[in-house]
Structure 1
Amino acid sequence: MQTVDRALAVLLSFSTRRTEWGVMELAEEFDLDKSAAQRLLSTLTHRGFLYADPITRRYRMGPAMWRIASTWERRGGMALLVEPVLAEVADATGRTASFNLADGSYVRCVAAVDGGNAPMRDHPLVGELYPAHAGATSRAYFAFLSPSQRQSLMYHRPLAKFSDLTSQDAHAIEAEMLLVADVGWAYSEGEYDSNTRAIAAPVFVLGRAVGSVSLGEHKREEYRDIRDYTQPLLRTAEKLGALLSAQAPEGNAR
Protein backbone atom coordinates (compact mmCIF):
# COMPACT_ATOMS: atom_id res chain seq x y z
CA MET A 1 0.00 0.00 0.00
CA GLN A 2 2.93 2.32 0.62
CA THR A 3 3.92 2.03 -3.05
CA VAL A 4 0.37 2.85 -4.17
CA ASP A 5 0.21 5.83 -1.83
CA ARG A 6 3.55 7.08 -3.11
CA ALA A 7 2.44 6.75 -6.74
CA LEU A 8 -0.74 8.69 -5.99
CA ALA A 9 1.27 11.37 -4.18
CA VAL A 10 3.45 11.79 -7.28
CA LEU A 11 0.40 12.15 -9.54
CA LEU A 12 -1.21 14.64 -7.17
CA SER A 13 1.98 16.71 -7.09
CA PHE A 14 1.41 17.92 -10.65
CA SER A 15 -0.09 21.41 -10.83
CA THR A 16 0.10 24.63 -12.80
CA ARG A 17 3.30 25.37 -10.90
CA ARG A 18 4.75 21.87 -11.20
CA THR A 19 4.23 20.54 -14.73
CA GLU A 20 7.10 18.05 -14.93
CA TRP A 21 9.62 16.08 -12.88
CA GLY A 22 13.15 14.84 -13.41
CA VAL A 23 14.25 11.59 -11.76
CA MET A 24 16.72 13.17 -9.34
CA GLU A 25 14.48 16.02 -8.22
CA LEU A 26 11.58 13.62 -7.68
CA ALA A 27 13.83 11.32 -5.64
CA GLU A 28 14.90 14.24 -3.48
CA GLU A 29 11.39 15.64 -3.07
CA PHE A 30 9.85 12.30 -2.06
CA ASP A 31 12.86 10.98 -0.13
CA LEU A 32 13.51 8.08 -2.49
CA ASP A 33 16.71 6.61 -3.84
CA LYS A 34 17.30 7.15 -7.54
CA SER A 35 16.48 3.58 -8.58
CA ALA A 36 13.16 3.60 -6.68
CA ALA A 37 12.21 6.93 -8.23
CA GLN A 38 13.08 5.62 -11.69
CA ARG A 39 11.00 2.46 -11.20
CA LEU A 40 8.03 4.48 -9.98
CA LEU A 41 8.18 6.88 -12.91
CA SER A 42 8.64 4.04 -15.40
CA THR A 43 5.60 2.18 -14.06
CA LEU A 44 3.40 5.28 -14.23
CA THR A 45 4.65 5.94 -17.76
CA HIS A 46 3.96 2.35 -18.83
CA ARG A 47 0.35 2.73 -17.65
CA GLY A 48 -0.07 6.03 -19.45
CA PHE A 49 -0.30 8.25 -16.38
CA LEU A 50 2.97 9.97 -17.28
CA TYR A 51 4.80 10.77 -20.49
CA ALA A 52 8.60 10.69 -20.72
CA ASP A 53 10.07 13.33 -22.98
CA PRO A 54 12.73 11.49 -25.03
CA ILE A 55 14.88 14.61 -25.36
CA THR A 56 14.76 16.17 -21.89
CA ARG A 57 14.12 12.87 -20.05
CA ARG A 58 11.62 14.65 -17.86
CA TYR A 59 8.15 13.36 -17.01
CA ARG A 60 4.84 15.09 -17.65
CA MET A 61 1.21 14.08 -17.19
CA GLY A 62 0.13 11.43 -19.67
CA PRO A 63 -3.06 10.56 -21.58
CA ALA A 64 -4.49 8.34 -18.83
CA MET A 65 -4.78 11.40 -16.60
CA TRP A 66 -6.78 13.16 -19.32
CA ARG A 67 -9.07 10.14 -19.80
CA ILE A 68 -9.87 9.94 -16.10
CA ALA A 69 -10.47 13.68 -15.83
CA SER A 70 -12.66 13.69 -18.95
CA THR A 71 -14.76 10.79 -17.67
CA TRP A 72 -15.17 12.48 -14.29
CA GLU A 73 -16.25 15.72 -15.95
CA ARG A 74 -18.68 14.06 -18.37
CA ARG A 75 -20.32 12.16 -15.52
CA GLY A 76 -20.85 15.39 -13.57
CA GLY A 77 -18.22 14.60 -10.97
CA MET A 78 -17.71 18.18 -9.83
CA ALA A 79 -21.43 18.83 -9.49
CA LEU A 80 -21.94 15.65 -7.47
CA LEU A 81 -19.08 16.68 -5.20
CA VAL A 82 -20.21 20.23 -4.43
CA GLU A 83 -24.01 20.00 -4.61
CA PRO A 84 -24.44 18.87 -0.96
CA VAL A 85 -22.57 21.99 0.19
CA LEU A 86 -24.64 24.22 -2.10
CA ALA A 87 -27.86 22.57 -0.95
CA GLU A 88 -27.04 23.40 2.65
CA VAL A 89 -26.73 27.14 2.04
CA ALA A 90 -29.63 27.19 -0.45
CA ASP A 91 -31.90 25.57 2.13
CA ALA A 92 -30.73 27.94 4.86
CA THR A 93 -31.20 31.13 2.82
CA GLY A 94 -33.93 30.25 0.33
CA ARG A 95 -31.73 31.59 -2.48
CA THR A 96 -30.19 29.90 -5.50
CA ALA A 97 -26.64 28.77 -4.75
CA SER A 98 -24.15 28.18 -7.56
CA PHE A 99 -20.53 27.12 -7.88
CA ASN A 100 -18.57 28.60 -10.75
CA LEU A 101 -15.11 27.82 -12.12
CA ALA A 102 -12.73 30.04 -14.06
CA ASP A 103 -12.98 29.71 -17.84
CA GLY A 104 -10.76 32.25 -19.60
CA SER A 105 -12.32 35.70 -19.30
CA TYR A 106 -15.47 34.20 -17.76
CA VAL A 107 -16.55 31.97 -14.93
CA ARG A 108 -18.73 29.00 -15.82
CA CYS A 109 -21.49 27.63 -13.60
CA VAL A 110 -20.79 23.94 -12.94
CA ALA A 111 -23.39 23.30 -10.22
CA ALA A 112 -26.49 25.07 -8.90
CA VAL A 113 -29.15 24.35 -6.29
CA ASP A 114 -32.37 26.35 -5.90
CA GLY A 115 -33.55 27.36 -2.44
CA GLY A 116 -37.07 27.46 -1.09
CA ASN A 117 -37.93 30.80 -2.69
CA ALA A 118 -38.64 31.06 -6.41
CA PRO A 119 -35.65 30.08 -8.63
CA MET A 120 -33.39 32.93 -9.70
CA ARG A 121 -33.95 32.05 -13.37
CA ASP A 122 -36.60 30.15 -15.33
CA HIS A 123 -33.89 28.10 -17.07
CA PRO A 124 -30.96 25.99 -15.79
CA LEU A 125 -27.87 27.86 -14.64
CA VAL A 126 -25.37 25.06 -15.20
CA GLY A 127 -23.22 25.88 -18.21
CA GLU A 128 -23.91 29.62 -18.00
CA LEU A 129 -20.89 31.84 -18.70
CA TYR A 130 -20.52 35.01 -16.63
CA PRO A 131 -18.24 37.69 -18.13
CA ALA A 132 -15.46 39.08 -15.97
CA HIS A 133 -16.68 42.68 -16.01
CA ALA A 134 -20.39 42.14 -15.26
CA GLY A 135 -21.83 40.84 -12.02
CA ALA A 136 -20.80 39.60 -8.60
CA THR A 137 -20.49 35.96 -9.66
CA SER A 138 -17.49 36.65 -11.88
CA ARG A 139 -16.14 39.65 -9.96
CA ALA A 140 -15.66 37.56 -6.83
CA TYR A 141 -13.12 35.48 -8.74
CA PHE A 142 -11.41 38.04 -10.96
CA ALA A 143 -10.87 40.45 -8.05
CA PHE A 144 -8.39 37.97 -6.61
CA LEU A 145 -6.21 37.78 -9.68
CA SER A 146 -3.30 40.14 -10.13
CA PRO A 147 -3.93 43.42 -12.01
CA SER A 148 -1.72 42.15 -14.84
CA GLN A 149 -3.79 38.96 -15.13
CA ARG A 150 -6.99 40.98 -15.25
CA GLN A 151 -5.47 43.25 -17.87
CA SER A 152 -4.69 40.34 -20.18
CA LEU A 153 -8.02 38.58 -19.60
CA MET A 154 -10.46 41.50 -19.51
CA TYR A 155 -9.29 44.75 -21.01
CA HIS A 156 -7.79 43.63 -24.32
CA ARG A 157 -11.20 43.68 -26.03
CA PRO A 158 -14.41 45.75 -25.98
CA LEU A 159 -16.52 45.19 -22.86
CA ALA A 160 -20.02 44.08 -23.85
CA LYS A 161 -23.08 45.81 -22.40
CA PHE A 162 -25.71 43.39 -21.07
CA SER A 163 -28.04 45.84 -19.34
CA ASP A 164 -28.33 49.53 -18.49
CA LEU A 165 -26.31 48.80 -15.33
CA THR A 166 -23.36 47.11 -17.06
CA SER A 167 -20.23 49.23 -16.67
CA GLN A 168 -17.90 49.48 -19.66
CA ASP A 169 -15.45 51.81 -17.92
CA ALA A 170 -12.25 49.84 -17.29
CA HIS A 171 -11.10 52.24 -14.55
CA ALA A 172 -14.40 51.97 -12.67
CA ILE A 173 -14.41 48.19 -13.04
CA GLU A 174 -10.85 47.96 -11.73
CA ALA A 175 -11.74 50.13 -8.73
CA GLU A 176 -14.63 47.77 -7.97
CA MET A 177 -12.28 44.79 -8.25
CA LEU A 178 -9.95 46.33 -5.67
CA LEU A 179 -12.87 46.97 -3.33
CA VAL A 180 -14.03 43.36 -3.61
CA ALA A 181 -10.51 42.12 -2.93
CA ASP A 182 -10.46 44.27 0.19
CA VAL A 183 -13.81 43.19 1.68
CA GLY A 184 -13.71 39.58 0.45
CA TRP A 185 -17.07 39.35 -1.34
CA ALA A 186 -19.06 41.00 -4.14
CA TYR A 187 -22.60 42.28 -4.68
CA SER A 188 -24.36 43.19 -7.90
CA GLU A 189 -27.84 43.99 -9.12
CA GLY A 190 -28.86 43.86 -12.75
CA GLU A 191 -25.35 44.15 -14.24
CA TYR A 192 -25.44 40.92 -16.25
CA ASP A 193 -29.11 39.98 -16.02
CA SER A 194 -31.32 43.00 -15.40
CA ASN A 195 -33.80 40.86 -13.42
CA THR A 196 -31.44 39.38 -10.84
CA ARG A 197 -29.12 40.31 -7.99
CA ALA A 198 -26.44 38.28 -6.27
CA ILE A 199 -23.68 38.10 -3.72
CA ALA A 200 -20.58 36.01 -4.35
CA ALA A 201 -17.31 35.03 -2.71
CA PRO A 202 -14.08 33.54 -4.07
CA VAL A 203 -13.25 29.87 -3.60
CA PHE A 204 -9.59 29.18 -2.87
CA VAL A 205 -7.83 25.85 -3.34
CA LEU A 206 -4.47 25.75 -1.58
CA GLY A 207 -4.34 29.53 -1.53
CA ARG A 208 -5.22 30.07 -5.19
CA ALA A 209 -8.58 31.41 -6.38
CA VAL A 210 -10.23 28.88 -8.71
CA GLY A 211 -13.74 30.30 -9.01
CA SER A 212 -16.64 31.59 -6.95
CA VAL A 213 -19.75 30.59 -5.04
CA SER A 214 -22.79 32.82 -5.31
CA LEU A 215 -26.26 33.31 -3.89
CA GLY A 216 -28.72 34.81 -6.33
CA GLU A 217 -32.35 35.79 -6.51
CA HIS A 218 -34.87 37.31 -8.89
CA LYS A 219 -35.39 41.01 -8.17
CA ARG A 220 -39.04 40.39 -7.42
CA GLU A 221 -37.94 38.74 -4.14
CA GLU A 222 -38.15 41.37 -1.41
CA TYR A 223 -38.32 39.24 1.73
CA ARG A 224 -34.85 40.14 2.96
CA ASP A 225 -31.78 41.94 1.64
CA ILE A 226 -29.61 39.27 0.05
CA ARG A 227 -26.54 40.92 1.57
CA ASP A 228 -27.78 39.73 4.96
CA TYR A 229 -26.56 36.29 3.89
CA THR A 230 -22.92 37.29 3.49
CA GLN A 231 -21.71 35.21 6.43
CA PRO A 232 -23.40 31.97 5.28
CA LEU A 233 -21.95 32.64 1.83
CA LEU A 234 -18.42 33.08 3.18
CA ARG A 235 -18.72 29.90 5.25
CA THR A 236 -19.83 28.04 2.13
CA ALA A 237 -16.82 29.36 0.20
CA GLU A 238 -14.56 28.05 2.98
CA LYS A 239 -16.27 24.64 2.93
CA LEU A 240 -15.90 24.33 -0.83
CA GLY A 241 -12.26 25.36 -0.67
CA ALA A 242 -11.56 22.78 2.05
CA LEU A 243 -13.43 20.09 0.11
CA LEU A 244 -11.50 20.72 -3.09
CA SER A 245 -8.17 21.04 -1.26
CA ALA A 246 -8.61 17.81 0.71
CA GLN A 247 -6.78 15.56 -1.75
CA ALA A 248 -4.37 18.16 -3.14
CA PRO A 249 -1.21 17.92 -1.00
CA GLU A 250 0.78 21.08 -0.42
CA GLY A 251 4.07 19.39 0.30
CA ASN A 252 5.74 16.11 -0.48
CA ALA A 253 5.28 12.60 0.82
CA ARG A 254 7.96 12.76 3.48
Structure 2
Amino acid sequence: MRRILEEANSEPEKKLAGPRVRPVPAVTRSIAILRLLGASPSPLGVKAIADELDLVPSTCLHILRVLVDEELLKVDPATKRYSLGPGMLALARSALKRGGFNDVVQPYLDDISAKFGVTAMGVEPSGLKHMVVKSLAASELPISLHVELGSQFPALISATGRCVAAFGNFSTDELRSGFDSLRWQNPLSFDAWLKEVNTTRKRGFGVDRGNYIAGVTVIAVPILDSKQHMAFGLAAVGLTDHLNASRVGMLATELVDAAMELTSRLPSLR
Protein backbone atom coordinates (compact mmCIF):
# COMPACT_ATOMS: atom_id res chain seq x y z
CA MET A 1 0.00 0.00 0.00
CA ARG A 2 3.06 2.29 -0.04
CA ARG A 3 2.10 4.02 -3.28
CA ILE A 4 -1.38 4.82 -1.98
CA LEU A 5 0.06 6.45 1.11
CA GLU A 6 2.61 8.39 -0.94
CA GLU A 7 -0.19 9.73 -3.09
CA ALA A 8 -2.14 10.68 0.01
CA ASN A 9 0.81 12.63 1.39
CA SER A 10 0.96 14.70 -1.78
CA GLU A 11 -2.63 15.94 -1.38
CA PRO A 12 -3.67 18.89 0.82
CA GLU A 13 -4.70 18.02 4.34
CA LYS A 14 -8.03 19.20 5.70
CA LYS A 15 -9.03 19.61 9.29
CA LEU A 16 -11.55 17.17 10.69
CA ALA A 17 -13.46 17.26 13.91
CA GLY A 18 -11.84 15.30 16.70
CA PRO A 19 -8.31 15.00 18.05
CA ARG A 20 -5.44 14.30 15.63
CA VAL A 21 -7.76 13.09 12.86
CA ARG A 22 -6.63 14.07 9.37
CA PRO A 23 -8.02 13.03 5.98
CA VAL A 24 -6.06 10.56 3.88
CA PRO A 25 -7.89 10.87 0.53
CA ALA A 26 -6.26 7.98 -1.29
CA VAL A 27 -6.95 5.58 1.58
CA THR A 28 -10.55 6.79 1.80
CA ARG A 29 -10.95 6.27 -1.95
CA SER A 30 -9.39 2.81 -1.73
CA ILE A 31 -11.83 1.77 0.99
CA ALA A 32 -14.73 3.18 -1.04
CA ILE A 33 -13.63 1.12 -4.05
CA LEU A 34 -13.36 -2.05 -1.97
CA ARG A 35 -16.82 -1.50 -0.49
CA LEU A 36 -18.34 -0.77 -3.88
CA LEU A 37 -16.90 -3.91 -5.45
CA GLY A 38 -17.83 -5.94 -2.38
CA ALA A 39 -21.46 -4.88 -2.78
CA SER A 40 -21.57 -5.20 -6.58
CA PRO A 41 -23.14 -8.40 -7.98
CA SER A 42 -20.67 -8.34 -10.89
CA PRO A 43 -17.19 -6.98 -11.69
CA LEU A 44 -16.94 -3.31 -12.68
CA GLY A 45 -14.75 -1.38 -15.10
CA VAL A 46 -12.74 1.76 -14.34
CA LYS A 47 -15.35 4.14 -15.75
CA ALA A 48 -18.21 2.56 -13.80
CA ILE A 49 -16.22 2.71 -10.56
CA ALA A 50 -15.06 6.29 -11.18
CA ASP A 51 -18.58 7.45 -12.04
CA GLU A 52 -20.16 5.77 -9.04
CA LEU A 53 -17.62 7.23 -6.59
CA ASP A 54 -17.16 10.58 -8.38
CA LEU A 55 -13.44 9.97 -8.94
CA VAL A 56 -11.13 11.19 -11.68
CA PRO A 57 -10.69 8.11 -13.92
CA SER A 58 -6.87 8.37 -13.97
CA THR A 59 -6.76 8.54 -10.16
CA CYS A 60 -9.20 5.65 -9.93
CA LEU A 61 -7.07 3.55 -12.27
CA HIS A 62 -3.92 4.26 -10.26
CA ILE A 63 -5.57 3.09 -7.02
CA LEU A 64 -7.04 0.03 -8.74
CA ARG A 65 -3.62 -1.02 -10.00
CA VAL A 66 -2.12 -0.74 -6.52
CA LEU A 67 -4.98 -2.76 -4.99
CA VAL A 68 -4.48 -5.43 -7.67
CA ASP A 69 -0.76 -5.48 -6.93
CA GLU A 70 -1.60 -6.02 -3.23
CA GLU A 71 -4.04 -8.82 -4.27
CA LEU A 72 -6.96 -7.02 -2.62
CA LEU A 73 -8.52 -6.81 -6.09
CA LYS A 74 -8.21 -8.86 -9.24
CA VAL A 75 -8.78 -7.79 -12.84
CA ASP A 76 -10.02 -9.82 -15.79
CA PRO A 77 -7.47 -9.20 -18.59
CA ALA A 78 -10.12 -9.74 -21.26
CA THR A 79 -12.83 -7.41 -19.92
CA LYS A 80 -10.68 -5.03 -17.80
CA ARG A 81 -13.24 -5.37 -15.03
CA TYR A 82 -12.34 -5.49 -11.35
CA SER A 83 -13.59 -7.61 -8.44
CA LEU A 84 -12.40 -8.45 -4.92
CA GLY A 85 -9.21 -10.49 -4.85
CA PRO A 86 -7.91 -13.37 -2.74
CA GLY A 87 -6.10 -10.99 -0.41
CA MET A 88 -9.44 -9.76 0.92
CA LEU A 89 -10.49 -13.31 1.75
CA ALA A 90 -7.23 -13.93 3.60
CA LEU A 91 -7.71 -10.76 5.65
CA ALA A 92 -11.31 -11.67 6.45
CA ARG A 93 -10.37 -15.17 7.54
CA SER A 94 -7.63 -13.83 9.77
CA ALA A 95 -10.05 -11.42 11.43
CA LEU A 96 -12.70 -14.08 11.94
CA LYS A 97 -10.30 -16.67 13.34
CA ARG A 98 -8.43 -14.50 15.78
CA GLY A 99 -10.07 -16.15 18.81
CA GLY A 100 -12.09 -14.44 21.51
CA PHE A 101 -15.83 -14.53 20.85
CA ASN A 102 -15.54 -16.86 17.87
CA ASP A 103 -13.80 -19.62 19.79
CA VAL A 104 -15.84 -19.32 22.97
CA VAL A 105 -19.25 -19.26 21.28
CA GLN A 106 -18.68 -22.14 18.86
CA PRO A 107 -19.47 -25.02 21.28
CA TYR A 108 -22.77 -23.35 22.19
CA LEU A 109 -23.71 -22.99 18.53
CA ASP A 110 -22.77 -26.58 17.73
CA ASP A 111 -24.89 -27.85 20.61
CA ILE A 112 -27.94 -25.74 19.73
CA SER A 113 -27.74 -26.61 16.03
CA ALA A 114 -27.54 -30.35 16.73
CA LYS A 115 -30.25 -30.29 19.40
CA PHE A 116 -32.87 -28.33 17.45
CA GLY A 117 -31.89 -28.91 13.80
CA VAL A 118 -31.32 -25.22 13.12
CA THR A 119 -28.53 -23.06 11.79
CA ALA A 120 -27.01 -21.25 14.77
CA MET A 121 -24.95 -18.09 14.45
CA GLY A 122 -22.84 -15.80 16.59
CA VAL A 123 -23.10 -12.23 15.31
CA GLU A 124 -21.64 -8.82 16.06
CA PRO A 125 -23.50 -5.58 15.31
CA SER A 126 -21.86 -2.44 14.00
CA GLY A 127 -24.19 0.32 15.17
CA LEU A 128 -27.10 0.66 12.77
CA LYS A 129 -24.98 -0.21 9.74
CA HIS A 130 -24.81 -3.98 9.61
CA MET A 131 -24.53 -7.27 11.43
CA VAL A 132 -21.57 -9.58 10.79
CA VAL A 133 -21.68 -13.37 11.16
CA LYS A 134 -18.65 -14.23 13.32
CA SER A 135 -19.35 -17.92 14.09
CA LEU A 136 -21.60 -20.50 12.51
CA ALA A 137 -23.00 -24.00 13.00
CA ALA A 138 -25.02 -24.93 9.92
CA SER A 139 -27.86 -27.42 9.75
CA GLU A 140 -28.67 -29.67 6.82
CA LEU A 141 -32.17 -28.26 6.43
CA PRO A 142 -32.94 -26.70 3.03
CA ILE A 143 -33.25 -23.15 4.39
CA SER A 144 -33.32 -20.48 1.71
CA LEU A 145 -30.84 -18.32 3.59
CA HIS A 146 -27.24 -18.50 2.42
CA VAL A 147 -25.00 -17.74 5.37
CA GLU A 148 -21.25 -18.05 5.73
CA LEU A 149 -18.59 -16.61 8.01
CA GLY A 150 -18.21 -12.91 7.33
CA SER A 151 -21.70 -12.51 5.86
CA GLN A 152 -23.22 -9.10 6.52
CA PHE A 153 -26.87 -8.23 7.00
CA PRO A 154 -28.62 -4.92 7.67
CA ALA A 155 -28.38 -4.23 11.39
CA LEU A 156 -32.14 -3.91 11.97
CA ILE A 157 -33.34 -6.83 9.86
CA SER A 158 -35.03 -9.95 11.26
CA ALA A 159 -34.87 -11.08 14.90
CA THR A 160 -31.30 -9.89 15.42
CA GLY A 161 -32.43 -6.44 14.29
CA ARG A 162 -35.16 -6.40 16.90
CA CYS A 163 -32.45 -7.08 19.50
CA VAL A 164 -30.24 -4.31 18.13
CA ALA A 165 -33.13 -1.86 18.38
CA ALA A 166 -34.22 -3.07 21.81
CA PHE A 167 -30.78 -3.13 23.40
CA GLY A 168 -29.09 -0.19 21.70
CA ASN A 169 -29.00 3.50 22.53
CA PHE A 170 -30.92 4.66 19.46
CA SER A 171 -33.64 7.27 19.07
CA THR A 172 -36.97 6.54 17.39
CA ASP A 173 -35.93 8.74 14.46
CA GLU A 174 -32.71 6.76 14.02
CA LEU A 175 -34.63 3.50 14.11
CA ARG A 176 -37.21 4.74 11.63
CA SER A 177 -34.49 5.85 9.21
CA GLY A 178 -32.79 2.46 9.42
CA PHE A 179 -36.09 0.58 9.20
CA ASP A 180 -37.15 2.43 6.04
CA SER A 181 -34.16 1.03 4.15
CA LEU A 182 -34.91 -2.62 4.99
CA ARG A 183 -36.26 -5.16 2.53
CA TRP A 184 -38.56 -7.90 3.79
CA GLN A 185 -40.35 -10.69 1.95
CA ASN A 186 -43.37 -10.10 4.20
CA PRO A 187 -43.06 -6.46 5.31
CA LEU A 188 -44.57 -5.10 8.49
CA SER A 189 -45.22 -1.48 9.42
CA PHE A 190 -42.76 0.51 11.49
CA ASP A 191 -45.28 0.82 14.33
CA ALA A 192 -45.89 -2.95 14.36
CA TRP A 193 -42.15 -3.58 14.28
CA LEU A 194 -41.57 -1.10 17.11
CA LYS A 195 -44.09 -2.99 19.25
CA GLU A 196 -42.15 -6.18 18.62
CA VAL A 197 -38.95 -4.36 19.60
CA ASN A 198 -40.56 -3.42 22.92
CA THR A 199 -41.65 -7.03 23.41
CA THR A 200 -38.09 -8.15 22.67
CA ARG A 201 -36.80 -5.76 25.34
CA LYS A 202 -39.22 -7.15 27.93
CA ARG A 203 -38.68 -10.86 27.36
CA GLY A 204 -35.00 -10.79 26.37
CA PHE A 205 -35.20 -12.34 22.90
CA GLY A 206 -36.55 -11.48 19.45
CA VAL A 207 -38.51 -13.60 16.99
CA ASP A 208 -39.08 -13.14 13.27
CA ARG A 209 -41.67 -15.54 11.86
CA GLY A 210 -41.48 -15.21 8.10
CA ASN A 211 -41.14 -11.42 7.84
CA TYR A 212 -37.53 -11.44 6.66
CA ILE A 213 -37.79 -14.64 4.61
CA ALA A 214 -41.09 -16.39 3.98
CA GLY A 215 -41.28 -19.79 5.67
CA VAL A 216 -38.24 -19.12 7.87
CA THR A 217 -38.25 -18.36 11.60
CA VAL A 218 -35.34 -16.59 13.26
CA ILE A 219 -34.86 -16.36 17.03
CA ALA A 220 -32.18 -14.07 18.45
CA VAL A 221 -30.85 -13.01 21.84
CA PRO A 222 -28.38 -10.27 22.78
CA ILE A 223 -25.14 -10.63 24.69
CA LEU A 224 -25.02 -7.43 26.71
CA ASP A 225 -22.09 -5.29 27.82
CA SER A 226 -21.80 -3.47 31.15
CA LYS A 227 -24.12 -0.70 29.89
CA GLN A 228 -26.77 -3.27 28.95
CA HIS A 229 -26.19 -2.61 25.27
CA MET A 230 -25.90 -5.39 22.70
CA ALA A 231 -22.24 -6.28 22.13
CA PHE A 232 -22.80 -9.60 20.34
CA GLY A 233 -25.77 -11.81 19.60
CA LEU A 234 -26.87 -15.39 19.11
CA ALA A 235 -29.37 -16.39 16.45
CA ALA A 236 -31.05 -19.61 15.37
CA VAL A 237 -32.59 -20.02 11.92
CA GLY A 238 -35.02 -22.79 11.00
CA LEU A 239 -38.02 -23.65 8.88
CA THR A 240 -41.24 -22.26 10.33
CA ASP A 241 -42.96 -25.61 9.76
CA HIS A 242 -40.45 -27.21 12.15
CA LEU A 243 -40.62 -24.49 14.80
CA ASN A 244 -44.05 -24.34 16.43
CA ALA A 245 -44.71 -22.07 19.41
CA SER A 246 -43.58 -24.67 21.94
CA ARG A 247 -40.35 -25.39 20.12
CA VAL A 248 -39.66 -21.67 19.65
CA GLY A 249 -40.05 -21.25 23.41
CA MET A 250 -37.59 -24.06 24.17
CA LEU A 251 -35.09 -22.76 21.66
CA ALA A 252 -35.38 -19.22 23.00
CA THR A 253 -34.74 -20.49 26.53
CA GLU A 254 -31.65 -22.33 25.33
CA LEU A 255 -30.35 -19.21 23.57
CA VAL A 256 -31.04 -16.97 26.58
CA ASP A 257 -29.20 -19.35 28.91
CA ALA A 258 -26.21 -19.46 26.55
CA ALA A 259 -26.21 -15.67 26.22
CA MET A 260 -26.22 -15.24 30.00
CA GLU A 261 -23.20 -17.51 30.34
CA LEU A 262 -21.40 -15.68 27.55
CA THR A 263 -22.28 -12.27 29.03
CA SER A 264 -20.38 -13.19 32.18
CA ARG A 265 -17.33 -13.84 30.00
CA LEU A 266 -17.72 -10.74 27.81
CA PRO A 267 -14.47 -8.96 28.78
CA SER A 268 -12.50 -11.96 27.50
CA LEU A 269 -14.48 -12.12 24.25
CA ARG A 270 -13.21 -8.85 22.80
- TM, length-normalised to structure 2: 0.55
Amino acid at match of 1:75: K
Answer yes or no: is the 8 Å Cα contact 1:83–1:111 preserved in 2. yes
**Counterpart secondary structure, 1:162:** coil
Distance in 1 (alpha carbons) for counterparts of 2:216 and 2:175: 25
Specify whether residues 180 and 230 from structure 1 end up closer, same or farther in structure 2 by C-alpha distance, changes over 3 A only.
same
Q: Which string of whole-angstrom CA distances, capped at 9 and with x for unpartnered residues, describes residues 192-239 of structure 1? A: 222311111111133432132111102353687333322111011112
Distance in 2 (alpha carbons) for counterparts of 1:155 and 1:82: 32
Of 121, 136, 150, the match for 1:127 = 150
Partner of 1:237: 259
Answer yes or no: is the 8 Å Cα contact 1:203–1:211 preserved in 2. yes
Partner of 2:122: 99
Distance in 1 (alpha carbons) for counterparts of 2:113 and 2:178: 36
- Residue 191 of structure 2 corresponds to residue 144 of structure 1: no
Partner of 2:206: 186
**Counterpart secondary structure, 2:264:** helix
Runs of at least 5 residues in structure 1 that lack an aligned partner in the other structure: 1-18, 20-68, 249-254
Amino acid at match of 2:105: V
Alignment of 1:28-47 (within 5 A): none
Partner of 1:110: 134
Alignment: residue pair count:
177
- Residue 200 of structure 2 corresponds to residue 199 of structure 1: no
Runs of at least 5 residues in structure 2 that lack an aligned partner in the other structure: 1-18, 20-90
Answer yes or no: is the 8 Å Cα contact 1:198–1:226 preserved in 2. no
RMSD of aligned C-alpha atoms? 3.1
- Residue 195 of structure 2 corresponds to residue 175 of structure 1: yes
Of 204, 207, 231, the match for 1:210 = 231
Specify whether residues 240 and 166 from structure 1 end up closer, same or farther in structure 2 by C-alpha distance, changes over 3 A only.
farther
Answer yes or no: is the 8 Å Cα contact 2:125–2:155 preserved in 1. no
**Counterpart secondary structure, 2:160:** helix
Higher fraction of helix: 2
Amino acid at match of 1:161: R
Deviates more, 1:100-109 or 1:119-128: 119-128
How far apart are residue 72 of structure 1 and its match? 5.7
**Counterpart secondary structure, 2:124:** strand
Answer yes or no: is the 8 Å Cα contact 1:95–1:119 preserved in 2. no
Amino acid at match of 1:79: N
Answer yes or no: is the 8 Å Cα contact 2:96–2:149 preserved in 1. no
